[in-house]
Amino acid sequence: MSPRAQDPNESTDDAVWQDLVARLEESPSSDFPERQASGPAPTAEERVRAIFDNQPAPAPPGPRDYSASENEDDGTYQPPEPPALGVGDPLVVLAWLCAVGGPVALMLIAMFWRSVSTTVMLGIVGIFIASVTFLIFRLPKTRDYDDDGAEV
């Protein structure tokens, strides 16, 4: 077995770090006066500012610096506000509630209220059939087969 080779970074890390610190401390800073040996230590903000003062000028503006003009009306179509969800024909809303609620009510009765009278069950079935019939007859009577559904 050959002896393990020393990692080249193990011995030079401390020297490189000390060199970097020494160069950063030597960088001239026009914003801060020379500090005397007995003066207070600079704050972290002052040290960061001293590091970045000697950096090159900022990059020219790029695509992310774009701001849209104030007048954004470019003639595009703005659709009107849709009506509120609760607004509609009350008879159609009631028919939908009965068409959906009828089977749900029958299922709940079958699970929890076994002794319900036959009249109530037939009433729920009749209301369900009437509401579904009403909704079917409210469907459009004609169909335009050339229409692709788009509206202008």
pLDDT digits (tens, 9 = 90+) for 109-140: 999 998 999 999 999 999 999 999 999 999 98
**pTM of the predicted protein model:** 0.43
Q: Name residue, tokens 């849209």.
A: 68
Assign 98 a pLDDT band (cuts: 50, 70, 90).
Answer: very high
**Token pair for residue 112?**
């929890």
Output the six-digit token pair for 131. Answer: 């509401």
d(CA 28, CA 34): 9
Average pLDDT over residues 34-41: 55
Q: How confident is the model at residue 105 (pLDDT cuts 50, 70, 90)?
A: very high
**How far is the first Cα of the chain from the last one, in angstroms, to the nearest whole number?**
83
Q: In this model, does residue 41 exceed pLDDT 90?
A: no
Cβ neighbours of residue 99 closer than 8 Å, sequence gap 6 or more: 128, 131, 132, 135
